[in-house]
Structure 1
């Protein structure tokens, strides 16, 4: 099963965000001043203790001292070039410090933010030209430093990115980024193009937007152009400090902008669906309020809204998941250590349907030769056409050149012949979820591909150990659960069977990373982690229908919980026959193993929808929603008629609906961890966020329990309350009870 990823969050890439500082670090200079014979001073950002410059306590101290020195030497200097000695210009805020900030430290957070702003304000009002020579990525605090300069020139580096992505971590720019972006671009463009989405721009796109003033081909040209600006503009100043400055688009008191502003909160509420994301709200408020006052007052307003977010729980959840947990997963913590890397040359993708075509596209885009095999040449060619369509969309959107498109397509060979996969060193099967069919396709190719080929099955629910019975080398067999659509979904669930060897797991991990995707490692079991856990979300929505709860309220509860889609809408997208098939296969497996099958209250609703009303979902034109020409036309009115609550039924609190949709999957994630299905807490959080659309504000299924009001103890109490009201499916797992008793957390 799969859904779209959480909309509000775009996970930061390691190396583009703050690197952790040591817990106890000595006082040190992270900024140095170098003055040449012409009176031009280079302000070099260079933290000797870290691989990247971050806005930590040491930086703030050093930067204040450096700016104080520039002010004192003002009459003896002609200009300042701000640059970095690191591979990137500046990484951003120190996330360890932000993660540790508590509500009782709000005053310290507020003052630290003002110290940064005061130093940057002193730099931009120095009375001498100040140029940012950006030798690499400048995100967050890095771009805030650059925006405080009078001119910004960047190295034309393919991997360099520029932007203010703090919103994706539940924060807002705390070093004057809101204040200066609004004054540089205007309220509307600053909000839409920079602040509210947290977009990261490549060099040329950042120049076109106005975040950069120029681009240099190499380091020598970068510094030469910086000096040239100083020579040509001895009286340089910020536009907003120049006489007669007018904010682009006008201030909020301008009639045209004033007429547009009321729409922003409404759009924001619609986009967030009522989910608890305070950062976009605070950004909007800081931008609009700050645009009506002077720069210094606007900086104080920004600092207040920034402080509220830093000491709040949502930012801590998102920082933990989208930086620390993401880095843990991508760094290879779950990869067997000591296993050598293997180069992938040629991949056989078996099955050219939507999933197989998506996998072929991903492999070819990564530079691998791909053989796309299906039962007929026509089916294989249709798969290639699907890839071509995906690439066409990328070209139209400017994300891919036509030359790269041709090169990618040239690496894919469609075929219906078994001989076509000869010599392939990786096999990825992507046929229908039928164990017999999957075994058949592996038996057909296992003697044709390379004798040590990695054998991978793309399955969302079928146990890998069961599928491995069809191959002669089960030690080389592993599950690779891709999510649909493959070109947009970042996660791959690597499923390790009982006989999967460490070399195969290492090769699978390296393959997923080579595809540019994030791998989580899970142990074998029906549904693995993601499909199993999202099943609890779906079943709880079905149970609510059976209780007679208004369908619109169920969908609204999912929205306010922060899910990217309503639970009933998602069921329709999946097609209702799929969860029932999975349920019946699971029931059969439990009973064959001698266990007792315990039906869920939602099962009866699913059966009635299929057997009594023949409503199978969107593809069939009728499900929980009605459809016209394939588009939703509202919830099916029959839901109220056929699933009405008894007249004497007690009303269900709306807060219970929200918590049930969040706690049902979270509690099962605890069981997955306890049973060894999950390899780590980080895998659980990242997998739930990227794979099943668990709300981004929570930080993932287990971080949600950590961040629950009162921590795991609060989650335990709430689960016990729901157990009393709705049944033993909310009975807290033993590990949660143990953590709550010991005042611990999932880590």
Structure 2
């Protein structure tokens, strides 16, 4: 029992009869502890008290009253920081560092008793302790993931990780990857000293360390300390360090991701100076990122927008519907097999149907192959593999779908075929079953007519490969009921993916927007742009796959088929039809040169054993022109603007109803560059905001065509200086 208790703001102080002080992190106003102004004030106050009472303190245990040990920095504060706030940001960072340093050098053993997830600032607190013990609780992760938000650890994380692990290991395993690390893996890396299985053991081991190590200190505060592996001046490191900038350049393709560069610089420069100077260096690089534009884009997308998407943002009541139990996946090709795999992985029983038993069995073999790789890598056990496969039942019999409460159709992208599927199965599956189509382009409302139950019908658009892609686009048809929408959202959450919800239209959101990206790429080829420059410009803009390589992977016949379907629909409705920009390039590639894409071994690229060997030289011969006057910077911006303008139009037309869905969906689903924060955050973060974006769009329109005309909604936002945000 504590001998005395006192609360210092967000930190509770308990001292026992032996002089062991337990500091319990417990922000009373929040569900999680964050490094906000209240915590920083509390930390400073506690550091002052420990210094003043050091003679009566035997040791310190730092733990948390929350399920999460510490959630990291206050991202609202970081999002609000502007260039003019640089001095405040720097001073705040140094204030945190000084408080942690005072506790670290108290002359008494300090133990981190980590009872839950500790990421970012939370792990920086733990790193400032002499001994780190972590409870192996479900979902518990530790680490410094700041790089994934465009930041670097600003509370001493770079300095301490380098001094703990050495430059190479700190950069490779922790700082540049931003991984959320399981406790036992963290112990293997040297980040954690002990892992325990119960809260009682956590408290016992923390106290035991203090009693057994009264002279505990950080390695870097002991005489004769040297950074593991040496400093940058050491010949052993001199041969290794140059590889890091090259690796970063290769990984980003030259896209504007300043956080990895700043982390590398802070680590290397900090390793050559004393601890305090290294902390100052870290704070300067941190301040540059916090006050910059790209970190704001990434914080908005990867934290706030992602949280809104995964919570449903008030648009669905997924927690109020009965959970799915038995799923029918119709179509056992690569996509259907992938969908069946993720359903079974989530514990759902799956009936995988195709036209023949052999085709259905091949679909199940896809799961067997994925699980074999996972077993080899140690990610699953043999028991888990067998249970997973047992949940998938391949069949060619429609009657085997009886009792399924969810149907996901994943057959070839043909409207008549999809309608036939639903006509065959609608009377077999459970009454009221959720009926879903995995179409990527066809209007959902029209497909719903074949079900007889349009209120139970929705689009469930998975992305390939379904087992790895984290997004599912849920398409609400004209007559999709709220309960069906809720059930679809609940199902997507159940399988561990992020759901975005859009209204029906040809191509919905993701397929429509990526279509503009591909069309703009083809338009530039038609204009005579050098194909190598185009692919490099896309990489420099941050696209993970350049457009010509992506077209090859899709096969060049797919966009032509989509254009033909859109043309037929327009003509049937009596609407005007304009050929897509660059469509003539696709026609020539298929009809004149017989190069339909990667699957045929010949497309925009040449292939050998299904591996790209280089761009087809004929592209320059038949398409590139020396007089093509498209500046390199314009190439990348044309791709980015084509997609963002399309997203604004979809928001204006009501296909998109959420800015968060647009941003998250564009990054996770179709590879829009992460540094932008997504298609609509790119507009917000463009120099000058929406007004600056609209002005640049006008300039592109004058030079390259009316497709860059800013939509009315963009004009309104630009005039009002109002960014795209959800209310």
Residue 705, structure 1, aligned to residue 700, structure 2: no
Q: Tell me the distance in 2 between the aligned counterparts of 1:395 and 1:537.
A: 38
Residue 561 of structure 1 pairs with residue 541 of structure 2 = yes
Cα distance in 2 for residues equivalent to 1:677 and 1:314: 27
- Corresponding residue of 1:7: none
Q: Aligned partners of 1:662 and 1:410: how far apart in 2?
A: 45
Cα gap change, 1:298 to 1:339, in 2 (>3 Å)? closer
Does residue 446 (structure 1) correspond to residue 434 (structure 2)? The answer is no
2:651 is the counterpart of 1:651: no
How far off is 1:500 after superposition? 0.8
Match of 1:684 among 649, 662, 668: 662
Say if 2:8 and 2:45, in contact at 8 Å, map to a contact too: no
- Show the counterpart of 2:461: 481
Deviation at 1:403, TM superposition (A): 1.9
* Aligned-pair CA distance for 1:402: 2.2
**Partners of 1:338 and 1:182 in 2: how far apart?**
44
How far did 1:618 drift?
Answer: 0.6
Question: Who is 1:119 aligned against?
Answer: 99
Q: Would you say 1:628 and 2:608 are equivalent positions?
A: yes
Match of 2:411 among 421, 431, 452: 431
Helix, strand or coil: the match of 1:184?
A: helix
1:29 aligns with 2:46: no
Offset at residue 651 of structure 1 (A):
2.5
Q: What displacement does 1:603 show?
A: 0.9
Q: Which moves more between the two structures, 103-112 or 630-639?
A: 630-639
Contact 2:8 2:46 in 1 (8 A): no
Residue 545 of structure 1 pairs with residue 525 of structure 2: yes
Matching of residue 271 in structure 1 with residue 251 in structure 2: yes
CA–CA separation in structure 2 for the residues paired with 1:296 and 1:398: 42
**What whole-Å deviation, never above 9, does each CA across 1:4-37 have from its counterpart, x for those lacking one?**
xxxxxxxxxxxxxxxxxxxxxxx98111211000
Q: Deviations over 1:506-535 (max 9, x none)?
A: 111111111111011111111000000000
1:384 and 1:603 map into 2 onto residues whose CA distance is 38
Alignment of 1:234-313 (within 5 A): 234-313=214-293
Following the alignment from structure 2 to structure 1, what is the Cα–Cα distance between the partners of residues 369 and 682?
A: 38
SS in 2 for 1:744: coil
SS at 2:14 equivalent = strand
Q: Please, which of 705, 710, 713 is the counterpart of residue 727 of structure 1?
A: 705
Question: What does residue 465 of structure 1 align with?
Answer: 445
Task: Please give the residue correspondences for 1:665-676 in structure 2 after superposition, counting only pairs within 5 Å.
Answer: 665-676=643-654
Partner of 1:408: 388
CA distance in 1, matches of 2:30, 2:20: 27
Deviations 1:120-158, CA, capped at 9 Å, x for gaps: 111111100000000000000011000000000011112
- Relative to structure 1, the CA distance from residue 101 to residue 49 in structure 2 (aligned partners, 3 Å threshold; closer, same or farther) is same
Cα displacement (A) at 1:335: 3.3
Contact 2:563 2:580 in 1 (8 A): no
- The question of whether the paired residues in 1 share the 8 Å contact of 2:318 and 2:490 is answered with no
Deviation at 1:600, TM superposition (A): 2.9
Question: Which is further off, 597-606 or 328-337?
Answer: 328-337
CA contact (8 A) 1:335 1:505 kept: no
Distance 1:453 1:141, change over 3 A: same
- For residues 213 and 388 of structure 1, what CA distance do their matches in structure 2 show? 38
- What are structure 1's unaligned runs of at least 5 residues? 1-26
Q: Is the 8 A contact 1:32 1:66 kept in 2?
A: no
1:360 aligns with 2:345: no
Q: How does 1:386-425 map to 2 (within 5 A)?
A: 386-425=366-405
Task: Kindly state the Cα deviation for residue 336 of structure 1 after the two structures are TM-superposed.
Answer: 3.5
Per-residue CA deviation, residues 672-731 of structure 1 (Å, 9 max, x unaligned), is 001110121111001101000000000000000000011011110110000011000101
| C-alpha deviation, 1:652, in angstroms | 1.5
Distance 2:356 2:289 in 1: 57
What RMSD over aligned residues (CA atoms) do the two structures have, in Å?
1.2
Contact persistence 1:317–1:698 (CA under 8 A): yes
Give distance in 1, aligned partners of 2:135 and 2:706.
60
Of 560, 570, 592, the residue aligned with 1:590 is: 570
Classify the secondary structure of the residue corresponding to 1:66: helix
Deviation at 1:476, TM superposition (A): 0.4
CA distance in 1, matches of 2:199, 2:320: 36
Q: CA distance change for structure 1 residues 338 and 420 in 2, over 3 Å: closer, same or farther?
A: closer
TM-score (ref. length: structure 1): 0.95
Report if aligned partners of 2:549, 2:604 keep a CA contact under 8 Å in 1: yes
Equivalent residues of 2:321, 2:483 under 8 A apart: no
The counterpart of 2:511, out of the listed 526, 531, 551, is: 531
Cα separation, 2, equivalents of 1:116 and 1:527: 49
Residues 339 and 503, structure 1, Cα contact 8 Å, conserved in 2: no
Distance between the aligned counterparts of 1:94 and 1:400, measured in 2? 36
Counterpart of 1:576? 556
Q: Is the 8 A contact 1:135 1:155 kept in 2?
A: yes
What CA distance in whole angstroms lies between the structure 2 residues aligned with 1:411 and 1:244? 59
Structure 2 CA distance, aligned partners of 1:683 and 1:583? 26
1:53 equivalent in structure 2: 33
d(CA) in 2 for partners of 1:650 and 1:368? 55
Please say if 1:177 is aligned against 2:140: no
What TM-score results when the alignment is normalised by the length of structure 2? Answer: 0.98
Instruction: State the alpha-carbon separation in 2 of the partners of residues 70 and 338 from structure 1.
Output: 48
Q: For residues 637 and 115 of structure 1, what CA distance do their matches in structure 2 show?
A: 59
Worse overlay, 271-280 or 392-401: 392-401
Question: Which residue of the partner structure matches residue 24 of structure 1?
Answer: none
Report the equivalent of 2:308.
328
CA distance in 2, matches of 1:186, 1:278: 22
Separation (CA, whole Å) in 1 of partners of 2:25 and 2:173: 28
Residue 10 of structure 1 is matched in structure 2 by none
Whether 1:188 aligns to 2:159 is: no
Distance in 2 of aligned mates of 1:336 and 1:344: 16
Residue by residue over 1:234-290, the C-alpha shift from the partner in whole angstroms, topping out at 9 and shown as x without a partner, is 000001111121211111111010121122111111111010000000000000000
| Kept after mapping to 2: 8 A contact 1:357/1:384 | yes
CA distance in 2, matches of 1:741, 1:609: 44
Q: Does 1:381 align with 2:346?
A: no
Equivalent residue number for residue 3 of structure 1: none
Q: Are 1:93 and 1:140, in contact at CA under 8 Å, matched by a contact in 2? A: yes
Tell me the distance in 1 between the aligned counterparts of 2:704 and 2:583: 15
Alignment partners' CA distance in 1, 2:660 and 2:203: 42
1:741 has 2:719 as partner: yes
Structure 2 CA distance for partners of 1:443 and 1:177, relative to 1, 3 Å: same
Deviation at residue 394 of structure 1 after TM alignment: 1.9
SS at structure 2 position matched to 1:335: coil
1:639 offset after TM fit, Å? 0.7
Cα distance between partner residues in 2 of 1:479 and 1:561: 31
SS in 1 for 2:107: coil
Q: Partners of 1:338 and 1:352 in 2: how far apart? A: 28
Query: Does residue 370 of structure 1 match 2:350?
Result: yes
Aligned equivalents of 2:312 and 2:51: distance in 1? 47
Task: Please say if residues 335 and 509 of structure 1, whose CA atoms lie closer than 8 Å, have aligned partners that are also in contact.
Answer: no
The SS at the match of 1:236 is coil
**How far does the alpha carbon of each residue in 1:301-325 deviate from its partner, in whole angstroms, 9 at most, with x for none?**
0000000000000000000011111
Please list the CA deviations of residues 579-632 of structure 1 after superposition, one character each: whole Å capped at 9, or x if unmatched.
Answer: 110011111111211111122331111111111111111111111111112111
CA contact (8 A) 1:370 1:412 kept: yes
How much has 1:338 moved relative to structure 2? 9.0
**Alignment equivalent of 1:149, drawn from 97, 115, 129:** 129
Cα distance between partner residues in 1 of 2:135 and 2:433:
42
